[in-house]
Structure 1
Amino acid sequence: MSHSSRAAGLAALLAVSACSPTFNWRELRLDGTPLQALLPCKPESATRAVPLAGTPTQLHMHSCEAGGLRFAVAWADVGDVAQVPVALAAWRSASLQAIRVVPPPVDDPTTQWGVTVAGAPAAQGVSAQGQDPQGQPVQTRAAYFAQGTQVYQAAVYGAKLSDEAVDGFFAGLRLSGP
């Protein structure tokens, strides 16, 4: 996506959401990565060690809530490009297990969702329904993608997803060159 078409898309998104105080879109640049994202709220940040594909990995997450939805962008460096596919599959599975989609149908066509991320050679989208930790229904749409040894997840969670908010969030993801 060219700079001018990205700017036009951002302008259109801002114009549509200008009347909505619920979503206050802002650009987020993730330190240490080539990823930029648009979030509809001021994110909180956290880093924690997680077992990703059996290896302790530092996971960096930025998330916020707006309009009854949780928006999250996370990344980790797996250190070896050969581990990227394994790490992405493990991450998708763990995310589905977290919302109690059992068994997690990682490659099930009913959970696949067509998504693209500007600058990413490939992205796998997941769309699923499950339960949050309190047992309440939750929906998610998530994208998993990589560049080099860095793996990423961008996701929206909520009781009922808004297509406008979901589309704006995923349209705002962009990886710059390697």
Structure 2
Amino acid sequence: MDGVVVPGRRRARALLPALALFAAACAPELNWREWRAEGSRVVQMFPCKPVQQQRRLQLAGRELQFVLQVCDAGGVAWAQARVDVQDPAAVELVMQALAAAAHANLGTPPAAAAAPAVAGATPQQASGRFVLAGKGPDGRPLEQAMLLFATGTVVVQVTALGTRLPAAAVDTFLGSVHVRT
């Protein structure tokens, strides 16, 4: 039956890539839920139930208290970090420092970001969506997809980090972010 096209098979073959993307976004290890951390106006979909952590970091010449929402699913760390820099003049500097740190952590040269489309975000030049591929401190390959934006004086970094990122799930994760007014 070589060379014989059975009606409907051509259509089924055309749908396979779309079904594969859908399956990746709906993989059993990814249990999507809308999430908004207490005290935050940022809302997004997470593929697992995040836990809250806090960390003090030196960034852009300031000691800042970061609040993180983090979970692991499907071999990927999914996170949202936010910090209120309280000084409108420091927002851009902190965003630039976060982007530079992400590039440095994976050993990649600075790259231009794609313009983000975060509903309700405050326009900032350093806002953007980054896709990085490099190596972790242990030398293993890592991929990172990151969205940086601000709402007022609050800087937000949304990140997916793993050895291999599922494109459809990353698009769902980053594309779901918005700011409630």
- Give the corresponding residue for 2:43: 36
| 1:115 is aligned to 2:113 | no
Task: After the TM superposition, list the runs of 4 or more consecutive aligned residues in structure 1 that deviate by more than 3 angstroms.
Answer: 16-19
> Which amino acid in structure 2 is aligned with residue 137 of structure 1?
P
| 1:100 is aligned to 2:104 | no
1:95 CA drift (Å): 1.8
Superposed, which structure 2 residues align to 1:17-32 within 5 Å?
Answer: 20-32=27-39
* CA distance, structure 1, for counterparts of residue 58 and residue 166 of structure 2: 32
* CA distance, structure 2, for counterparts of residue 114 and residue 19 of structure 1: 26
* CA distance, structure 2, for counterparts of residue 114 and residue 68 of structure 1: 27
| 1:130 is aligned to 2:129 | no
Aligned residue pairs total: 156
| 1:85 is aligned to 2:77 | no
* CA distance, structure 2, for counterparts of residue 59 and residue 79 of structure 1: 13
Please, what TM-score do these two structures have when normalized by structure 2? 0.79
1:27 CA drift (Å): 1.7
* CA distance, structure 2, for counterparts of residue 142 and residue 116 of structure 1: 13
- Give the corresponding residue for 2:16: none
- Give the corresponding residue for 2:157: 153
Please, what TM-score do these two structures have when normalized by structure 1? 0.80
Deviations 1:87-131 (A, max 9, x none): 100111112222232xx41xx33xx23432222244311111111
Deviations 1:21-70 (A, max 9, x none): 11101121122221012110111221011012110010111111111111
* Consecutive unaligned residues in structure 1, runs of 5 or more: 1-15
Higher Cα radius of gyration = 2
